[in-house]
Amino acid sequence: MRNYDLEFLKHFSMVIGFLALVTLGLIIGAHFLNGVIPPEVSPTAQKQLEARIAPVGAVYAGSTGAAQQAAAQAAAAAAASAQVAYGGTTDGKVIFDQLCTACHTSGAGKAPRLTAGEFGARASKGVDTLYKHAIEGFTGPDGGIMPPKGGNPALSEEQIHATVDWMLAQSK
């Protein structure tokens, strides 16, 4: 080997060694910064975590807890009323127009239409039987299908009774 080749290898080895030290320094610096800077938490993940670890109930003791207990009862009542279909209305026409009209206007699923010949014939079974079929569901001998609560489980029995009464009045 010639002298200039040895000189080149010496300088090249020093450059490679220097670059290796810089790389090692960057790796150690990045590892240190990763341990110092706190991880960023997304707001959605934080809300899910808080909902998961929230207490199931609360304890209200003495007169100091009466206000919190009243507020909790009001919130529970508001949540329960929000679960009732169609805002809790007992107007049979509103419920019929939004839920029942699809089948009882077209006859889909062999549902009786609002005529004296079809729905009026069902009235001969008695209004209690119609209420029961509307609430529990019914499969007729002709294959007609009435899903429980018209397919909306959020309907209350009062709403179903009002709707059946309205349908009976319209079929006369």
- Give the model's confidence band at 112: pLDDT under 50 very low, under 70 low, under 90 confident, else very high: confident
Q: Which of 136, 129, 128 is nearest to 155 (CA)?
A: 136
Asked whether the predicted pLDDT for residue 92 surpasses 70, the reply is yes
What are 21-40's pLDDT values in tens digits? 999 999 999 999 888 877 77
What are 134-170's pLDDT values in tens digits? 888 888 888 888 898 888 888 888 899 999 898 888 8
Is 133:145 a contact under the CB 8 Å cutoff? no
- Give the model's confidence band at 18: pLDDT under 50 very low, under 70 low, under 90 confident, else very high: very high
Tell me the average pLDDT across 98-112.
87
Residue 19 tokens read as 């670059």
Asked whether the predicted pLDDT for residue 70 surpasses 90, the reply is no
Q: What is the pLDDT of residue 21?
A: 97
Average pLDDT, the chain: 85
Residue 115 tokens read as 């005529």
Higher pLDDT: 11 or 39? It is: 11
Q: What is the pLDDT of residue 140?
A: 83
- Give the model's confidence band at 106: pLDDT under 50 very low, under 70 low, under 90 confident, else very high: confident
Q: Which of 151, 169, 167 is nearest to 97 (CA)?
A: 167
Higher pLDDT: 17 or 171? It is: 17
Is 139:69 a contact under the CB 8 Å cutoff? no
C-alpha–C-alpha distance, residues 100 and 117, integer Å: 18
What are 48-69's pLDDT values in tens digits? 999 899 888 767 677 667 777 7
